[in-house]
Amino acid sequence: MKTFIINTAIIFLILFISSQHNTFAGTNNPEKLSIKNDYSIQPYHKNPWYWQYKGEPIMLIGASDRDNLWQWTGEVLTEHLDSMKTAGGNYVRNTMSDRNEGDTFAAKQLENGLYDLEQWNDEYWDKLRFFLDETHKRDIIVQLTLWDWFDLSGDDEYGRFKVHPLNPANNINWEPGTITNAWDYYGGSLLDNNEKALDYQHRYIDKLISITAQYGHVLYNIGNESGLSAEWDNHWGRYIKEAAKKHGRDIYVTTMLFAPENGVRRVMTYRDVFSFADVSQNNQDALGAVGKRHWENLLLWRKMIALDEHGPMPINNEKVYGQGVGTNTAAGTEKEAVERFWRNIFGGAASTRFHRPAYRGNDFYWGIGLSERAKQTIRAVNMFMEEFNIFEAAPYEAFSTVGNSVDVYCMADIGTAYAIYFPGGRATVHLDPWIYVDKVSLKWLDIASLTWSEEEIIQPEWDNYDGTHWWGPQRIITLTPPDHRSYVAVLKVIE
């Protein structure tokens, strides 16, 4: 009896320790593993400009204060995810980056301070499992970036090659000169057939995919702000798709280039490799566009993709730049960031997310992160989508502004519903519903106060119709917001 009690106590102790470890490390959760490909994130089968998850269409919107969220642990991470989820967000960016002070490296560090590239650091992968478990629990979609060349981009405060395990001076595996900079490792390894670097990269990706393929809420991006060759992107795109298939998972892949237009061209050219576009660099002043041009770029790229024999695919925006009054002239202002966020919605994009704020110095203001302004915007977008079905609509250009008015943006499910985004300022719009409608309902969303107006019924007017010119008249709807603040108008056809 005494022996039985002792053995039972040992068993319970082992189970307790295991459960505490899995609280951090993640588990092979039966619920998680049972998410089959049909319920994973994938292009929406009824409208592949958008995504679906667990069989339902989903617009990906989010904001977070860090690029590599997986490097956070415990309540620091979970409270951040909860804050975004409470605001209505469902989408985060996650680079497999280790360039910040205090980040965990993948290779194991030995007692002598050097690293062994043949051994993994368990803490590194435990952090990733914990991050994926916590985002999975909250139905938060992760766009995961494999390579971030800034990790090895220099010896100053924005690059960590000097202390990185991949620096041959810091590991026991590579001779001096195996790699000397970021280029040697990213891109150069493939071009120069650097067997040692390639071997490490392939082992790293094999380990990564063995973990991420257990989850159905992950999208994949080859490189952050890549200027690397199509050969590099294609190699890793094909490799991770094959690796995921070995684990029973179909995955969806893109690559993000510095020039957003070139990114669209690349993914269109290699549709056997890439499943969606990411045009994040359209969302900044330096390489992207401001105002109406930003929206027009999205419409152009949609038209080009639609002309392709493979047809539509999602267009993602995992980074929307802009902060404050525009101290960082490459990023833009907070006002422009919020308008870009909305224009991505009205431009038919599949995702939009506010980029991180400064966290490595006070001179780099790239985005507003999960600020109160960001959360308020996410709440407003969700309120809009509760009233207007974007998955059955598309960007719409049959409208005109009156006089010296600001730019406005429109979506339509022709003959059913129309929506117009007024960023703010003096604005009067003539909307052509295109088909003849006699009666519509109208509601105004006050973005700042997060309130809807009372519904009103209006009848479209004839445009310059005097009853004699049968070849010219059309019915139009004239709209002017209640004041000069930001609004969204939603119209639904009654007759």
pLDDT (tens digit per residue) in 233-266: 999 999 999 999 999 999 999 999 999 999 999 9
Which fold would CATH assign to domain 35-391? TIM Barrel (3.20.20)
Q: Does residue 354 contact residue 365 with C-beta atoms inside 8 Å?
A: no
pLDDT at site 404: 67
- What is each CA distance from 299 to 9, 292, 348, 397, 400, in whole angstroms? 65, 11, 8, 10, 17
For residue range 399-442, what is the model confidence (pLDDT) as tens digits?
A: 999 876 789 999 999 999 999 999 998 889 999 999 989 999 99
pLDDT at site 33: 45
Higher pLDDT, 362 or 125: 125
pLDDT at site 12: 44
Is the fold of 35-391 the same as that of 396-493?
no
To 5 degrees, how large is the angle CA 358–CA 359–CA 362?
Answer: 55
Which fold would CATH assign to domain 396-493? Immunoglobulin-like (2.60.40)
Phi-psi region of 189 (alpha: psi -120 to 50; beta: other; left: phi over 0): alpha
For residue range 268-317, what is the model confidence (pLDDT) as tens digits?
A: 999 999 999 999 999 999 989 999 999 999 999 999 999 999 999 999 99
Q: Does residue 302 contact residue 341 with C-beta atoms inside 8 Å?
A: no
Q: What is the mean pLDDT of residues 347-363?
A: 82
The ranges assigned to domains in the chain are: 1-28, 35-391, 396-493
Percent of the chain having pLDDT more than 70?
88
Per-residue pLDDT band at 475 (split at 50, 70, 90): confident
pTM of the shown model: 0.91
